[in-house]
Structure 1
Amino acid sequence: MQFSSAWLNLAGAMIGAVIVLELTRQVLLRVGRKWTFSSRLVKHCHWPVVTTVLLMTFNIMFYPLMIGPEPQQRAFGESVERVVTLLIIGAATWLIIQATYAFTDVALERLDLVEGERNRRARRMKTQITLVRRVATATVVVIAFGAMLFTFPQVRALGAGLLASAGIAGAVVGIAAQPTLGNMLAGLQLAFSDALRLDDVVVVQEEWGRIEELTLTYVVVRLWDERRLVLPVSYFTQTPFENWTRHGSRVLAVVYLRVDWSVPVGKLREELYRYLQTNPLWDQKDWTLQVTDIQLNGLVELRALMSAADSASAWDLKCDVREHLITYVRENHPEAMPRFRVESPETRADVPWPGEPGSP
């Protein structure tokens, strides 16, 4: 009778815990309509909290004699108690990790909304939060695993020996894991030195792309053609690379044209400015058109320079400007289209070209 009442008390306590948890969840969901963090906390931590609370309730209300008074039954009851303790440690670890993600996700979502001049700082903070969260998760998992091991008396008895040999083991592990540890330190160095951030535009191994993922061991670069280039973090601390958004996302776009000497540079400059004012990709700041070179093949090189808000816009703006200028020259100044002149004996003898005064 005593055993049955103990089981009834255990069942009642767990049912009561479930009711309290559900009422708390409903309250947090109502609060979450105005407070984003509340709904985010419920989303991440609902099942970890339920699992942890039910296991703790069971652990508090349960005792080995509930299984039976016989030695074998008591031993089985003690085994159940130990298994529940291990599950509580695992559930608590799960809860801590999910709560950490709930806190940081709110901050990351707000940082995603930052635009303009503050975007660079926001991306830096986003990178640091992401890496610190991963380090904290790994640390919590390692501590939880150690706590699980020390619930066994045999492991606690070996504790002194393990501590005594920690120096030798640490040296061996350090030598074996030197590349991994080097990558982890390089990841932290990149995050907190502001050398690389998520969504930065980089040129790596002659490939243009954006930083899509930055972990403690590797970096994923999303290339312009949607390929992914995966590199170890140590690559970015040992090899030079281009970062186009180091101090800001604004980029200058350049278009080169090779045309004949007869090109009306002034009219072409006016047409470029007129077109830029109608193109939404131009950020209304910098532009110019200059004669930058006279090439050996007899063509004149023009450089059109214009600014854009980011590298993607700069690429599209370059293509638009190049296409428009080519069309403008072809339709309005066909004499300025590229042509190659060849000197012949007749030209050396001052024989006029066809169409020139004095020609037949």
Structure 2
Amino acid sequence: MPFQLPDLLPTQLELFLRAAGVVLGSAAVGWLLARLFFKALGRYARRESTFLAQAVGRHMCQPASWFLPVLVISFTLPLTLLPSQALEVARRLVETALLTTFAWCLVKAVDVVQALVERYYQITSEDNLRVRKLFTQLQFVKKLTVSLIIFVTLALVLMSFATVRKIGTGLLTSAGIASVIVGFAAQRSISNLLAGFQIAFTQPIRLDDVLVVEGEWGRVEEITFTYVVLRIWDERRLVLPLNYFIEKPFQNWTRTASQLLGTVFLYTDYTIPVAEVRAELQRLVAAHPLWDKRVCVLQVTDSKERTLELRCLVSASNSSQAFDLRCDVREQMVHFIQQHYPESLPKTRTLTAPTDQPFTSAIAAAE
């Protein structure tokens, strides 16, 4: 008599339906828990007006809505009663999804920390030197942390497979030769990475610093692992490698403070009354809203063949205001000289000898 399976054993279809029900039910429970948690967090944030709760709800809602269902599935997976081989495959898939969604939550947690720092430290204020120092380090540390999270997650996912572990063991035996080859190939990238560490902590440049590089004036918009983006005054972007700021000279107008002196040069005739022009400069600058009340000086800095060089030196709280102040001072001072001393504008003199001179009379007779 042939051997028959008992009728009580579940069929393949029943196993599939049971496993699907357990997985879908666990996912639904996890999704419901996430929704309830963030709904309660949203109500608390509206009632207490706490920025931390708002930041967590804004950044963590989406990744947590994926992580919690996968977490619940990982706990209930043995209830599916799958065969050992199928259960092992399902367990690998769930572990991979769990590691991936957890890494996503960690990356978003870094965004929450960044949002909190940006909340309490405003980079838009005028005296923002300490804030720019902090933001420069924060940006570099954030990029490094996110890169490490992604790298570790990828390594854990790959090392969970036996085949990958065997390949990794074989590769370690030739790591000496490989490291030399990779070192030569990635020499420039590694030097840029080390330059990034140096810039982040010694800070020759910071976010929102005003620089003059390659003859271009602009602000530091972004600092990455390998390059710096400089926003030029006319909305262009100048991209420079990090090594540039370690190896080559450049001007940093906000290295220790944002205050700056602006220079305006005027070229006039020798007949200009310097004292009156100096008084007009002081009157004009004293009423100007961009002047920070530190420096207002007019000096005769040079005397050329036909003109005097007058230098107006004024101060402002930052480079943008200094540029606007210089333009206004130049326009108003030129207008003042035109209106009050037009005879002192630059001119070229020609001296004509009288006709009764002997030399002149001889030339006239010859003609």
| TM-score normalised by structure 2 residue count | 0.87
Root-mean-square deviation over aligned CA pairs: 2.2
2:234 maps to a residue whose letter is: D
2:313 maps to a residue whose letter is: L
Shift in Å at residue 223 of structure 1?
0.9
1:226 aligns to 2:235 (yes or no): yes
Match of 1:143 among 133, 141, 152: 152
Give the whole-Å Cα distance in 2 for the aligned partners of 1:238 and 1:190.
12
Deviations 1:253-307 (CA, angstroms, capped at 9, x unpaired): 00000001111111111111111122111112211111111012x2111110100
1:124 maps to a residue whose letter is: K
Shift in Å at residue 346 of structure 1?
4.1
User: Could you say which residue in structure 2 is the equivalent of 1:299?
Assistant: 307
User: Could you say which residue in structure 2 is the equivalent of 1:57?
Assistant: 72
Aligned residue for 1:285, secondary structure, equals: coil
Give the whole-Å Cα distance in 2 for the aligned partners of 1:14 and 1:64.
14
1:98 aligns to 2:108 (yes or no): yes
Deviations 1:156-200 (CA, angstroms, capped at 9, x unpaired): 234433333333322221221110111111111112112100111
Give the whole-Å Cα distance in 1 for the aligned partners of 2:123 and 2:327.
29
Match of 1:331 among 335, 339, 348: 339
Aligned in 2, Cα 1:95/1:346: closer, same or farther, shift over 3 Å?
Answer: farther
Kept in 2, the 8 Å contact 1:64–1:76? The answer is no
1:110 aligns to 2:125 (yes or no): no
Kept in 2, the 8 Å contact 1:41–1:102? The answer is yes
User: Could you say which residue in structure 2 is the equivalent of 1:188?
Assistant: 197
Deviations 1:207-243 (CA, angstroms, capped at 9, x unpaired): 1111111111001111111111111111111110000
Count of matched residue positions in the alignment of Structure 1 and Structure 2: 342
Deviations 1:106-154 (CA, angstroms, capped at 9, x unpaired): 203432356344x111101100100011011111111111111111111
Aligned in 2, Cα 1:197/1:98: closer, same or farther, shift over 3 Å?
Answer: same
Give the whole-Å Cα distance in 2 for the aligned partners of 1:260 and 1:160.
84
Aligned in 2, Cα 1:107/1:65: closer, same or farther, shift over 3 Å?
Answer: closer
1:250 maps to a residue whose letter is: Q
Aligned residue for 1:283, secondary structure, equals: coil
Give the whole-Å Cα distance in 2 for the aligned partners of 1:167 and 1:251.
53
1:310 aligns to 2:323 (yes or no): no
2:60 maps to a residue whose letter is: C
Give the whole-Å Cα distance in 1 for the aligned partners of 2:152 and 2:188.
23
1:233-312 equivalence runs, <5 A: 233-296=242-305, 298-312=306-320
Give the whole-Å Cα distance in 1 for the aligned partners of 2:287 and 2:110.
48
My pick for the range that moved more, 216-225 or 167-176, is 167-176
1:17 maps to a residue whose letter is: G
Give the whole-Å Cα distance in 2 for the aligned partners of 1:239 and 1:267.
45
Larger Rg: 2
1:204 aligns to 2:213 (yes or no): yes
Kept in 2, the 8 Å contact 1:64–1:75? The answer is no
1:24 aligns to 2:37 (yes or no): yes
1:52 maps to a residue whose letter is: F
My pick for the range that moved more, 35-44 or 56-65, is 56-65
Give the whole-Å Cα distance in 1 for the aligned partners of 2:354 and 2:326.
43
Deviations 1:90-118 (CA, angstroms, capped at 9, x unpaired): 1111111111111122203432356344x
Aligned residue for 2:132, secondary structure, equals: helix
Kept in 2, the 8 Å contact 1:261–1:299? The answer is yes
Give the whole-Å Cα distance in 2 for the aligned partners of 1:42 and 1:65.
33
Aligned residue for 2:351, secondary structure, equals: coil
Name stretches of at least 5 consecutive residues in structure 1 with no aligned partner: 350-360
